[in-house]
Structure 1
Amino acid sequence: MRRMKQRPFWPLMILIILAVAAVVSMQPQKRGTASLTPSNSPERRNQLTVYYLDVGQGDSEFIELPDGRSMLIDAGNPENGGQIARFLDTQSIKKIDYLVATHPHADHIGGMPQVVQSIDIGSVYMPKVSATSRTFENLLSSIQKKGLQIQTARAGVTLLDRGDLKAVLVAPVGSGYNDLNQYSAVIKLSYDNTSFLFMGDAGAQSEKEITADVRADVLKVGHHGSDTASTEAFLKRVSPRYAVIEVGKDNSYGHPAESTLKKLRRIGAEIYRTDEDGTIKIQSDGNNITVEEHVPGMEEADASMRPAA
């Protein structure tokens, strides 16, 4: 009898495996599975980065959001406008998607007209308040020239909501304040399991009126650490791990007040100050927070504007 030659079995097995794999790859994947988030995807490597810019006796916070958008809260004094614009340029920022002027005081909005003129702007938020200062008029003029619309900053307004990334206004709650500081737009920014609170110059009255959940890992202390803000009751509600005070070195206001520093220490907050630590960068990956002091950029931006000798 003639014996038939047997063919190897493994090539057939390989063909079967490849066929099964092809069929499986064509099936729709379920949301939330690991295969939807490769290790090199933007979702895995994106960070929330907040720069507390050293603008002297003033406020300015630049935020790079995990989804690639950006936010600028305040822009310091008039002399800081070019400095901030240059800083944004060194960071390769082409557009500010969310521009927030917390309230019409020169140490918060003074540099904003130059920023508006120098870069594309998306949405603009300001509290509904009248002011007659030249600084405020300059800002309104720069916004009008760009054809931008001002959206009212008030408690309950959502700036963005992407599920794991959310920015909401928790103040101002009321109106008719005698003190412009109480009109300050207060923003809570949350990214996964971490959160940031930006107080502007909001004082004790505004703190008392805020009913929203203000718990935050990082607190931008209100009104440069003045004793008119940061009541003990409010600080306990926030319970921050880190507190950032934006303040000018040897300023004439006595900011930050020693009483404020003591209250922050009592709740266990780690304190950072722009007069001592320069520009401060705080990053979050949604779970962990890192802090970096004396971040370069603003100094170089400042130097680039000085006239040649």
Structure 2
Amino acid sequence: MVQFPDGRNMLVDAGNNDDGPAVVSYLKSRGVSRIDYLVATHPHEDHIGGMDNVIRAFDIGQVYMPRVTTTTKTFEDVLLAVKEKGLKISSARAGVTVLDQENLKVNFVAPVGTGYEDLNNWSAVVRIQYGSTVFLLTGDTEAQSEEEMLASRANLKADVLKVGHHGSSSSTTPAFLKAVAPKYAVISVGAWNDYGHPHKETLAKLANAGVQVYRTDRDGTVVFTSDGKNITVEKLGSTIRPRAPDTGSMVAPAAPVTPTRSGGGYIGNKNSRKFHLPSCSTLPAEHNRVYFKTREEAISAGYTPCKRCNP
């Protein structure tokens, strides 16, 4: 959620399907009645699941989405909400400018290319500059998109980095982190998530670079405020209902458990339409899984192999 000095609002993504009402409630608690710029970074359920609720609850200005589609009901729900409101979708891609005023500029620096096999690399990356302060919001961009942003010679330097892909080791490459050189990083991640995010490799890279890291699983809602020269940070704690009981201390996420379901030789992700080995570090949550006995069965069902575990 971004609030500009003149009162205009931008919302980038809207959480899971179940998060929609909570997102709407939070926005209303902040006095929001209109969202001038709505950005869906890419059509994964954990990023656009609550967006249909948001579209129906608020007056919406411009809608930005990358030019990629998927066949999920979640994506169809968003398109239906857009259609019901009579809204048009503008392309979110590198080079597109959302705002360009004297001391405020908002533009996209990714996706640079097209034809990505992984929906994550379609992620719209938003760069917001107010005065001398800069924020970079990266969606779920992975190494491929980061490399393309670097090759495009876009100005990636930022004070605040919204870390890509919930802190996964598939993002935040050393070269990209060096180019951004943030003072602060924030990782949007659910506590006790099934993926083990944020990965220790990413946390180590951020620590070694001297970046001050905030995490939503530990800090709750994090608010960064800029006066155009300086940035202040406020941790509001949990403003969204917890996903697991609060034990009073953080528990390291457990490693993915190899399923024991009979015949489950491969595990498919209903959202990404990729299939994995049971030992893969990026297995989906149980409700998003489909099991296949053979590799051929997965491929014939329209699933593609995960590039991480190479099933």
Cα deviation, residue 115, structure 1: 0.5
State the partner residue of 1:188.
Answer: 127
Alpha-carbon separation, structure 2, partners of 1:68 and 1:252: 38
- The aligned runs of 1:32-181 (5 Å cut-off) are 62-181=1-120
Q: 2:208 is matched by which residue type in structure 1?
A: R
Cα deviation, residue 167, structure 1: 0.5
Cα deviation, residue 294, structure 1: 2.6
Q: 1:291 is matched by which residue type in structure 2?
A: V
What whole-Å deviation, never above 9, does each CA across 1:145-171 have from its counterpart, x for those lacking one?
000000010000001111200101000
Q: Secondary structure at the match of 2:197?
A: coil
Large movers: runs of 4+ above 4 Å: none
Alpha-carbon separation, structure 2, partners of 1:83 and 1:257: 27
Alpha-carbon separation, structure 1, partners of 2:27 and 2:176: 33
Q: 2:163 aligns with which of 221, 226, 229?
A: 221
The 8 Å contact of residues 87 and 297 in structure 1, kept in 2 or not, is answered as yes
Alpha-carbon separation, structure 2, partners of 1:108 and 1:144: 19
Which structure shows the higher helix fraction? 1
Alpha-carbon separation, structure 1, partners of 2:237 and 2:2: 14
The 8 Å contact of residues 203 and 223 in structure 1, kept in 2 or not, is answered as yes
Alpha-carbon separation, structure 2, partners of 1:104 and 1:144: 17
What whole-Å deviation, never above 9, does each CA across 1:53-102 have from its counterpart, x for those lacking one?
xxxxxxxxx11111110000000001111111111111111100000000
Note the residue ranges of structure 2 that are not aligned, 5 or more in a row. Answer: 243-311
Q: Secondary structure at the match of 1:205?
A: helix
Alpha-carbon separation, structure 1, partners of 2:98 and 2:239: 27
Q: 1:80 is matched by which residue type in structure 2?
A: D
Q: Secondary structure at the match of 1:294?
A: strand
Cα deviation, residue 297, structure 1: 4.4
Cα deviation, residue 295, structure 1: 4.6
Say yes or no: does 1:284 pair with 2:226.
Answer: yes
Q: 2:96 is matched by which residue type in structure 1?
A: V
Identity %: 54
Alpha-carbon separation, structure 2, partners of 1:173 and 1:184: 10
The 8 Å contact of residues 221 and 236 in structure 2, kept in 1 or not, is answered as yes
The 8 Å contact of residues 17 and 49 in structure 2, kept in 1 or not, is answered as yes
Say yes or no: does 1:253 pair with 2:195.
Answer: yes
- TM-score of the aligned structures, taking structure 2 as reference length: 0.76
Say yes or no: does 1:238 pair with 2:180.
Answer: yes
Aligned residue pairs total: 239
Cα deviation, residue 298, structure 1: 3.8
Alpha-carbon separation, structure 2, partners of 1:182 and 1:72: 20
Note the residue ranges of structure 1 that are not aligned, 5 or more in a row. Answer: 1-61, 301-309
Shift in alpha-carbon separation, 1:69–1:295, aligned structure 2, 3 A: farther
Alpha-carbon separation, structure 2, partners of 1:158 and 1:124: 13
Give the RMSD, CA atoms, in angstroms.
1.1
The 8 Å contact of residues 108 and 126 in structure 2, kept in 1 or not, is answered as yes
Q: Which has the higher contact order (CA 8 A, sep 6+)?
A: 1
